[in-house]
Amino acid sequence: MDKNAFVFMGGTFDPIHNGHLRTALELQQWMGVERVNLIPSKEPVHRSAPGRSAEQRLQMVDLAVQNEPALHADAREVKSAKPSFSLHTLESLRYELGGERPICMIMGMDAYQTLPTWHEWERFVDLAHLIVVRRPGYDVPECDTLKKFTAKHETESVSKVLSTPAGFVLFHELTPLGISATQIRQTIARGLSPRYLFPDQVWQYIQDNRLYGLTN
Ligand code: ATP
């Protein structure tokens, strides 16, 4: 088993919240790996562009993990000259880490459900494992293509995942935290407090920089 596997969670993180952070930390502990990397996207390719810059979203992730050595903010997509396609990220990670080291891409079940719409998604498992987190309100996919893909690649074994470079899909149920970035943006827009949905440092940053439509 390779405890040094590169495990990462990509996302818009607009803003990062305790649902992301708790998921990343629980997976790090469950898998027994050194750390989980959080990779904010540069320009979202699957959704309309958010109002915050990539640098701002990265800074919020940085602030959120600053006292937690098991989590790390990774700037590779934000600093990249290319738009954020998962395939590019996986190819560059594979190139950087070599052919043997396990790479694990974490995603929520909501993201997994949309996988067949992602650029060259079937190649992801050639480069990495997919770790899919069951999330409140989202079930295992109905779509036939994804059902077949899941049946072909699914494993229940963490040690299999950590002893091979790529190729498996692993589902894991975690403590449900029904928090979304959308909910936080709406809460702020209504003039209500979003405290305790995410770290106080992130809320302070949002207030200091007047993000999400804050005026005072
Ligand atoms: P939005 O509400 O803007 O769509 P989000 O809260 O879903 O945002 P993203 O940045 O889109 O956050 O998500 C990044 C990754 O984190 C995705 O794989 C998503 O499934 C996962 N995720 C988001 N919220 C949670 C949560 N509460 N619990 C577990 N995983 C989550």
Please give the distance, rounded to the nearest whole angstrom, from the Cα atom of residue 108 to the centre of ligand 1: 7
Q: Is residue 215 part of a domain?
A: no
Residue 112 belongs to some domain of the structure: yes
- Whether ligand 1 lies within 6 angstroms of the CB of 19 is answered as yes
**Domain annotation covers residue 129:** yes
Span 5-47, pLDDT tens digits: 999 999 999 999 999 999 999 999 999 999 999 999 986 555 5
In a domain, residue 214? The reply is no
From the DSSP assignment, how many helices (H) and strands (E) are in the chain? 10, 7
210: left (phi over 0), alpha (psi -120 to 50) or beta: left
Pocket test for ligand 1, best of 180, 196, 197 (most atoms within 8 A of CB): 180
d(Cα 123, Cα 30) in Å, to the nearest integer? 26
Distance 11 CA to ligand 1 centre (A): 7
What confidence category does residue 87 fall into, taking pLDDT thresholds of 50, 70 and 90? very high
Ligand 1 atom closest to Cα of residue 178: 27
- What is each CA distance from 209 to 24, 52, 59, 180, 203, in whole angstroms? 26, 10, 11, 21, 10
State how many domains the chain has: 1
Within a domain: 216: no
46 within a domain of the structure (yes/no) = yes
Coil vs helix vs strand at 54: helix
CATH of the domain at 11: 3.40.50.620
Name the 3-class secondary structure at 133.
strand
User: What is the rounded distance in angstroms from the CA atom of residue 191 to the CA atom of residue 27?
Assistant: 34
Residue 40: inside a domain, yes or no?
yes
Range of the domain at 194: 6-209
The length of the chain is 216
21 lines ligand 1 (CB under 6 A): no
The pTM score is: 0.93
- The reply to whether 16 falls in a domain is yes
- Cα distance from N-terminal residue to C-terminal residue, the chain: 51
Residue closest via CA to ligand 1's atom 25 equals 19
Round to whole Å and give the CA distance between 150 and 31: 20
pLDDT band at 162 (very low <50, low <70, confident <90, very high): very high
